[in-house]
Structure 1
Amino acid sequence: MTEYRDSMQHPESRRVRDLVYETLATEGRAPSVGELARRTGSEPARVQELLHELADAHALVLSAEGDRIRMAHPFTAAPMAFVLTPVDGHDDRRWWGGCAWDSFGISAALKLDVRIDTACPQCGEHLSVVAGPNTPPEGEHAVRFPRPAAEWWEDVVGTCTMIRLFCTREHAEQWTAEHAPGQGYVAAARTVWDLAQAWYGDRIDPDFTPHTREHNQRLLEERGLTGEFWELP
Structure 2
Amino acid sequence: MSNDLNKDVRKFIYDHLYSFAIPPTPEKIMIKFKKDREEIITVLVSLHDDHLIVFDQKIKKIMIAHPFSGIPTSFVVKSSKDMKYYATCAWDSIALHFTLEDDVEVEAYCHYCNDEIRLILSNNQIVLKIPEETIIHFQEPAGKWWDDIMNTCFNTMNYFCSKEHLEKWIQKNPSKAGELVPDDKILVLSQFLYKNKMNLDYVRPSVEQTKEKFNHIGLTGEFWKI
TM-score, length-scaled by structure 2: 0.91
Match of 2:69 among 64, 76, 89: 76
Corresponding residue of 1:196: 190
Shift of 1:132: 3.4
Is the 2:124–2:187 Cα contact (8 Å) retained in structure 1? no
Is 1:151 matched up with 2:144?
yes
Match of 2:30 among 34, 37, 41: 37
Structure 2 unaligned regions, length at least 5: none
Map 1:93-108 to 2 at 5 A. 93-108=83-98
Map 1:116-155 to 2 at 5 A. 116-137=106-127, 138=129, 139-155=132-148
Overall identity of the aligned pairs, in %: 26
For residue 24 of structure 2, give the secondary structure of its aligned residue in structure 1.
Answer: coil
Corresponding residue of 1:221: 215
C-alpha change, 1:182 and 1:55, in structure 2 (3 Å) is closer
Q: CA RMSD in A?
A: 1.8
Corresponding residue of 1:180: 174
Is the 1:82–1:98 Cα contact (8 Å) retained in structure 2? yes
C-alpha change, 1:211 and 1:22, in structure 2 (3 Å) is same
Shift of 1:182: 6.5
TM-score, length-scaled by structure 1: 0.88
Is 1:63 matched up with 2:53?
no
Match of 1:110 among 68, 90, 100: 100
Instruction: Number of aligned residue pairs: give it.
Output: 222
C-alpha change, 1:58 and 1:78, in structure 2 (3 Å) is same
Q: Distance in 2 between matches of 1:173 and 1:196?
A: 26
Corresponding residue of 1:212: 206
C-alpha change, 1:152 and 1:182, in structure 2 (3 Å) is closer
Is the 2:117–2:134 Cα contact (8 Å) retained in structure 1? no
Is the 1:62–1:68 Cα contact (8 Å) retained in structure 2? yes
CA displacement, residues 115-144 of structure 1 (integer Å, 9 cap, x when unaligned): 110110112211111113422254232111
Is 1:24 matched up with 2:14?
no
Give every structure 1 segment of 4 or more consecutive aligned residues whose post-TM-superposition deviation is greater than 4 Å: none
Is the 2:125–2:187 Cα contact (8 Å) retained in structure 1? no
